[in-house]
Structure 1
Amino acid sequence: MNLNYLTQAIANCEAILHQQEFQAETWQQSCRDLGNLLQGLGRFDQAIVWHSLALESKPSLVEAYTHIGQLYVRESQWESAINCLKQALKYQPNSVQLYSTLAQIYNQLEEPEAEMECWYQATQINPNLVNAGGYHKLAKAFYHRNKLDEAINCYQRAIEQSEASETRQSNFEPHYELAEIWLEQRKINQAVSCYQQILDQDPNQSRAHHKLGTIYLRQQQFEEAITEFRQTIQIEPEFPGGYRDLVKTLIQFQKWDEAIATCHAIINLVEEYPWVYVQLGNALREKGRISDAIASFQKACVLKGWQECRRKDYSFTQDNFSYRISLWQSCLQSLANQADIQALEIGSHQGMSTCWLLDRILTHSSAKLTCIDSSFDRYFENNLDKTQARSKVTLMKGEIQQLLATLIPNTYDVVNLQDRCKLTTQIEQDAAYIWQLLKVEGIAIFNDYGWINPTNPSQNPKLGIDRFLESIKNQWEIVSHAPQIYQLIIQKKYE
């Protein structure tokens, strides 16, 4: 019974504060009633507060709303407590205590967004309210909610707090995460500064060296990139990313001999990664060591699970496909060894994807493959013979779109578009032809999705593909999107 009276007494005090004309006698009587109720409940500390307020003819609104809010908190009347504390904030907007109390209430209500905002406002008033770990936690929360300005501010505070502590060398995560935000915003100098701050404190941070190296590589500062990647490997000899990017940089810088030596070092000292053999093959080819390059590309394919590449002795002097094998295997496995499967390939190059399709998917005797290209490489012809499945293949040579126009609609279960021409308009037109040729439930594979030619903006396959897909919205669904290998695979759902 007393608790019901208490709830009503709290509400009465709050109502008086909202009246346009404040009545001191009514306020004082309500405070006395509330104090007596609290005293009767044995809550003497709170009773003293309200008996004191009863002596005031006109109380501080901040103090009154704060105390009422605290009573509501004690009674778990969260929304009423929030309203009172927000009223108090109108009169005292720089109160750390009010924001902290609100944050704790939102924590009870499991409203992390509101809790986070209150803690942030409290730290803006008193930067020393939380330690580096607290700022780091706030920063991550803001980042995941895409509130980047607040996230950056909290990361910077976390870094400042961390650098002022004795344990600073064990907590570089705020530096790394802030650097990633700067990179997302294309603020390269700020990102570099973050990594440099790390290395100023600990020169043996291999991750920071590697990150700097990738930035320099992107900026085509090859010598600086090579230096950073070498530092990465020296500090952490088994870090594959350092080796991979070092080799990539050496090849872009056309340091073929050093690239070859580095690839062999990786193979002997670390592991036989497929990408090592691809890069080794690229360097060997540029040195004119064609047979060694072919052997290296074969090894990359074997490591990706395509053993037939070596067993049938396919000859490829370039590898534009092995890194897609795992994705294709998972997306096309349901078609493997199925009767009457029809596949279409636009742009066959040296036939790496062609041979894989014949070896792994189009294995039924009734399966068929049509290859269209403006011209067929001599390596393509030789490799096709080695598949022992040439009878399944129809070759069409000439102007690609003219040839596509001669094919029968709704015929193909899978279409692989890798046209040599990368012009946006051409690819958009290719996509339109493909759509007509594809069966319902058929799969379309778009290569070079996301690749652009920085020196020729008109070569942007993704733009052309997206334009077409927008025109047939809701008629398809994504099977896989792998930006790292410039691949989009979709399935046709409706005509």
Structure 2
Amino acid sequence: MDSSYLVQAIAQCETAVENRENTPEKWQEAFTDLGNLLQGMGQFDRAIIWHSLALESEASLGEVYCQLGELHLLEKNWSAALSCFENAREYLPNSAKVYSSLAQINGQLQNKEAEMNAWYRATEINPNLVNNTGYYKLAKALEENGKITEAIACYQRATEGKTGLANAFYDLGEIYQRQGKLDEAQRIYEKILEIEPTEARAQYKLGNIYLQRRSFEQAIDYFRQTIRNAPDFPWAYRDLVKTFLILGKWDEAISTCYAILNLVDEYPWVYSHLGNALREKGNLAEAAVNFQKTCAYRGWQQCVENEYFFTLDIFSHRIEIWTNYLQSLIGKERANALEVGFYQGMSACWLLDNILTGATAKLTCVDQNYAPKLKENITKTGSESKVSFLTGNSHELLAACTPNSFDLINLQDRCKLIDHSEKNTSLGWKLLKSGGIMIFNYYGWHNPGNVQQNPKIGIDRFLESVRGQWEELYQSPQALQLIIRKL
């Protein structure tokens, strides 16, 4: 039978139920006609439903709209089906069937957020509607859309029973860690180990939690368990070395670094940690060689070629970040950069080698005093003529600089007090050109023993006063970096 007759019959039914003043005889007749048509098409189950609806003295509009929606689905008329089930929702607000149908239709229409919300509501009404895998997929979608409370509920469902999904456990634990709910995260990872006692990833996560709590011996124990069960798990080695460095166990840190190089692979952070431990042991030349290797592995080969001598590395892990966001300044003539806080000049040397390569580019360096190796490293760049050194009180020196004159300002002052950081930001803002880039280091670092040592508070306080005049380019709690552009 031609489906055009079905479309016409559906339209007649919709007209009948839309006009609420119609007498029962009107919609009963439309329902009977549709039932007869479906019977003639061999759709006996559907025909029975419509004949049953025709016998009722009062239309059950929720059911009517559901059945009309189902018929539109047969015709793959997604928009019409969506309209019907949205109408049905008004009359059946607690129907899992209605919400699951809305989810499937929105999926066909690529309305991803509406699909996600409908599935979540359907599972609230009927928790058994989907299995663990379904809950996991829904949880991922909710998390990606910032609906963390709902995501947690779905991850919890995905971890239930004997078929609980391992990835759901880990994703749930990650959320708890980000929220600072370490007890909840710990229980998640311990539950994994109850199921699989040698699960290295869970052991590593527990080691991380104990490290966050500064329970160092427990952290070391879990990192070592991880390495025993997964000898090629690099991050367990990394955090084991980090823990040894915090505890001042230099020999253990050094031996672990060499074990990584012998057993696992070469990673930039291995050389950085090894350099830190060697420095503390007084082996400055060896430390400098390892910091050169760190930089070379991160793409800065000139660090080895020019034999820069650094015994401190607070910069190399930011090379990739800076490379991405400073592209517009590479080779730019008359590019003008400012650094506050100079140390041994690692970031300055990198800027001269990779960014401030234009013949007329300039770099101004401001600090209270300079490390002995600073000018020697700058000379090795071959670009010392581009560099101006200003020594003394940073606030006084910055106040004397020309306003709106710098394309790039890097703030990494040793003083991390709130008020000092706010003043640095204020002075730097006046010096930055429109379109210029400002980099804040130590953003997110704080001293647990001194609440005044929290640069982020001071930086945020000033930036709030000029809201709308800048845009965030990058922020990373791990790298302790905030990069903005002045509008």
Q: What is the TM-score with the length of structure 2 in the denominator?
A: 0.86
The code of the aligned residue for 1:488 comes to: L
CA distance in 2, matches of 1:406, 1:281: 38
CA distance in 2, matches of 1:460, 1:416: 18
Aligned residue number for residue 129 of structure 1: 129
Identify unmatched segments of 5+ residues in structure 1. none
Aligned residue number for residue 185 of structure 1: 179
CA distance in 2, matches of 1:23, 1:435: 74
CA distance in 1, matches of 2:435, 2:400: 22
1:239-260 deviation per Cα after TM superposition (whole angstroms, max 9, x unaligned): 2211111100111122111111
Shift of 1:262: 0.2
Contact 1:65/1:88, CA 8 A, preserved across alignment:
no
Which one of 211, 214, 223 corresponds to residue 205 of structure 2? 211
Which one of 227, 245, 249 corresponds to residue 255 of structure 1? 249
CA distance in 1, matches of 2:67, 2:433: 71
Contact 1:102/1:118, CA 8 A, preserved across alignment:
yes
Which one of 409, 412, 416 corresponds to residue 415 of structure 1? 409
The reply on whether 1:146 has 2:149 as its aligned counterpart is no
The number of equivalent residue pairs is 481
Contact 1:315/1:379, CA 8 A, preserved across alignment:
yes
Aligned residue number for residue 164 of structure 1: 162
Question: Equivalent residues in 2 for 1:18-167 (5 A)?
Answer: 18-19=20-21, 28-39=28-39, 43-57=43-57, 66-71=66-71, 73-74=73-74, 76=77, 77-83=80-86, 85-86=88-89, 88-89=91-92, 93=94, 95-160=95-160, 163-165=161-163
Shift of 1:473: 4.0
Identify unmatched segments of 5+ residues in structure 2. none
CA distance in 2, matches of 1:331, 1:62: 56
The code of the aligned residue for 2:231 comes to: P
The reply on whether 1:176 has 2:170 as its aligned counterpart is yes
The code of the aligned residue for 1:471 comes to: S
Contact 2:61/2:91, CA 8 A, preserved across alignment:
yes
Shift of 1:218: 0.7
Three-state SS of the structure 1 residue aligned to 2:92 is helix
1:319-338 deviation per Cα after TM superposition (whole angstroms, max 9, x unaligned): 12222233334444554555
Aligned residue number for residue 346 of structure 2: 352
The reply on whether 1:198 has 2:192 as its aligned counterpart is yes
Contact 1:417/1:446, CA 8 A, preserved across alignment:
yes
Shift of 1:195: 0.9
Contact 1:10/1:71, CA 8 A, preserved across alignment:
no
The code of the aligned residue for 1:123 comes to: T
The code of the aligned residue for 1:146 comes to: G
Shift of 1:193: 1.2
CA distance in 1, matches of 2:381, 2:27: 95
Contact 1:12/1:30, CA 8 A, preserved across alignment:
no
CA distance in 2, matches of 1:346, 1:28: 82
1:152-210 deviation per Cα after TM superposition (whole angstroms, max 9, x unaligned): 222222211xx424xx6xx4011111112222332211111111111111223222111
Shift of 1:391: 4.4
Shift of 1:225: 0.9
1:437-481 deviation per Cα after TM superposition (whole angstroms, max 9, x unaligned): 334444333222222222223222233233333434444444544
CA distance in 1, matches of 2:209, 2:248: 19
The 3 A distance-change label for structure 1 pair 486 and 117 is closer
Aligned residue number for residue 402 of structure 1: 396
CA distance in 1, matches of 2:385, 2:433: 23
The reply on whether 1:293 has 2:291 as its aligned counterpart is no
CA distance in 1, matches of 2:382, 2:66: 85
CA distance in 2, matches of 1:313, 1:291: 11
CA distance in 2, matches of 1:243, 1:200: 24
Aligned residue number for residue 308 of structure 2: 314
The root-mean-square deviation of aligned C-alpha atoms, in Å, is 3.2
Three-state SS of the structure 2 residue aligned to 1:444 is strand
Shift of 1:376: 1.8
Shift of 1:127: 3.4
Question: Equivalent residues in 2 for 1:258-277 (5 A)?
Answer: 258-277=252-271
CA distance in 2, matches of 1:362, 1:143: 41
Aligned residue number for residue 10 of structure 2: 7
Aligned residue number for residue 233 of structure 1: 227
Identity, in percent, stands at 51
Aligned residue number for residue 371 of structure 1: 365
